[in-house]
Structure 1
C-alpha cells in the first residue's frame, strides 16, 4: 500500500471520554506506523498537555499543536520547527475587559510559554487548579507574543466577547468556541488552522494530498477534514463535520472507533485488549 499521512485529532477522536488512550488504540496506531505510514498528532491542545500521548504512542514524527500554530519535534531541537504568534497587546487589552465579559480565566501560551490568571479555581483539565507565582499572567510577565489565548467565561457572555474581538482584532486573530460542556474560547493567529499543520507535514514527507487521512470530531477539525484526501468524521462528531467528511467511523471515540477504522483500512488483525 502507498505510504499515507494519518493526522490524528486527540480529544473526542483518538482519546476516549476519560481523555486517555485505550490499549487497543495504542496497539493499532503502532501497527500502522510500523507498516511505514506517517502518523502525527494534530491537536488544538498545547504541547504541555499532549506530549504524554505522543510518548505513549511511541511516535517519532512532528507534532502539531494549537490548531496548526506550532509544528515541532518533541524532545528535540529541530531546524524545521515553526510557530505562529499574535501581538501581545491584544492580550493586554482583553485583560482590561475581563470583568465586563465575565471572564473566569485566561491563559496565554506558546511552546515554552504558560501564563494565566483566574478569578476562581476551575476544573476544566486545561487550566491548572492553582498557579505558581511565575505562572501568573500580567502585563509585566507576558514578555513575548503568544501562540494561543484561551478564555473561560460565562456562556451568555460569549457572543459579546467574540463580537468585540472580531471588531477590534478580526484582521489579526481568529476566535473559536470549544465544543462540549465547558464555555471556553480560544484565539490564534489569523488564518492558521489545523490544515496548515497537515499541509506542512504532507510537504515535509512528500505525500500527496490524496494520500492524507485525517480524523476529527469538532469544528476546529473542519479545515483539516476538508484538506485531507480522506477526511474521516468520528461517529460522535458534529453534524457539520460529518457533512463535509468523506467517511465516518462505525463507532465513537469511547468505542475505539478510530482503531476500528484503521484496522479495516489497513487490513490489520483486529486487536482487542482488556
Structure 2
C-alpha cells in the first residue's frame, strides 16, 4: 500500500548527520508525491528552520512546527496555533538563568526565535543546524510577548533530567519533553505532534490508519502511536524501539531509513 499522508520528523530522521536529505531519500519522497500523496514535516523546529531542510525536496508543502503548537497548510494558512502565557515563558527563562549551569533558554513566538542577549555557544550551534539566526532579547521583553508557541532549554543531559522534573512540578499546565539528550522542549499541555497529526488528517480527510509517520526520539512517540504505519529510525533510543516495536524499526538517518521503509509500502 501507499500512505496518503506521510508525516516525518526532521532532525535525526529526514536529514542525516550532515544536515542533508540524501538523494535516495529525496527521490523516494518525490515518488510518493507523484503518486498523489502528501508529505508533511512534523518538527520541533520553527517554520523557517523546517523550510531549510524540506526545501531540499520541495518548495511548497504543509508543515507541523513547534512540536504541534503551529501547523500551516501549503499556502501558509494557520491550521493550528496554540500559545502559552508569555509570563510563564519568562519565568522559565529566569529559572534557567538562576541554575548557572551552562544551560540556555530559547523562546519561539510566531516566526521569531528569541535568545538571551549574550548568545550562548549552544544557541550558536543550533543556528548552524537550522540555518536561522536567533534574536537576542531580555527576559523582560519576553514577558511582553502576546504569547509563546514553544520554549526550548539546551544543556547537559544530566542537568536537563533534573530541570525537567523540577519544571514539570512548577508548571503543571505545560508539557516538558526531550527531543534529544541535550534539548528539552516546552509547549502547552495537550500540544504534541500527535494532536497536530490528527487535525491535519481530518483537514485532508485521510484516515489515520492510512498515514505513515517517521521519527527518532521521544517527542515523536505519540505521533508514531497515532498513525496506522509508524516507522522508527534505527538511530532511535533502544527504549523507544522496544515501546514502538522492533518490527517498526528501519535503517538509521545516515543510511536512508525513510527510503528503505517507503519501498516496503509500494
Cα drift, residue 132 of structure 1: 8.5
In 2 relative to 1, CA 120–234 (structure 1 residues): closer, same or farther, beyond 3 Å?
Answer: closer
Distance 1:43 1:119, change over 3 A: closer
Match of 1:178 in 2: 179
Please list, as runs of the form range in 1=range in 2, the aligned pairs for 1:85-104 lying within 5 A after superposition. Answer: 85-101=83-99, 102-104=101-103
Aligned position for 2:219: 220
What CA RMSD, in Å, does the superposition of the two structures yield over aligned residues? Answer: 2.6
CA shift digits 1:69-125 (9 cap, x unpaired): 110136x342x5321111111122223333432253211103322211156323663
For structure 2, which runs of at least 5 residues remain unmatched after alignment? none
> What do residues 182-223 of structure 1 show as CA deviations (whole Å, max 9, x unaligned)?
x22210111111111111111011111110111111111100
Q: For residues 60-99 of structure 1, what are the structure 2 equivalents within 5 Å?
A: 60-73=60-73, 76-78=75-77, 80-99=78-97
The residue aligned with 2:111 is 112
- Aligned pairs, number: 260
Q: In the superposition, relative to structure 1, how do residues 134 and 7 fare at CA in structure 2: closer, same or farther (>3 Å)?
A: closer
More helix by share: 2
Instruction: Provide the TM-score with structure 1 as the length reference.
Output: 0.85
1:8 has 2:8 as partner? yes
Q: Residue 202 of structure 1 contacts residue 209 of structure 1 at CA under 8 Å; is this kept in 2?
A: yes
Any idea what the Cα deviations from partners look like across 1:199-257, whole Å, max 9, x if unmatched?
11110111111101111111111001100111111122222332343643442110111
Compare CA radii of gyration and give the structure with the larger one.
1
Q: Distance in 2 between matches of 1:39 and 1:132?
A: 26
CA contact (8 A) 2:15 2:53 kept: no
User: What is the distance in 1 between the residues matched to 2:174 and 2:96?
Assistant: 18
Structure 1 segment 21-40 matched on structure 2, within 5 A? 21-40=21-40
Secondary structure of residue in 2 paired with 1:64: strand
Q: Summarize the Cα distance change of 1:59–1:5 in structure 2 as closer, same or farther, 3 Å threshold.
A: farther
**2:239 maps to 1:240:** yes
SS of corresponding position for 2:125: coil
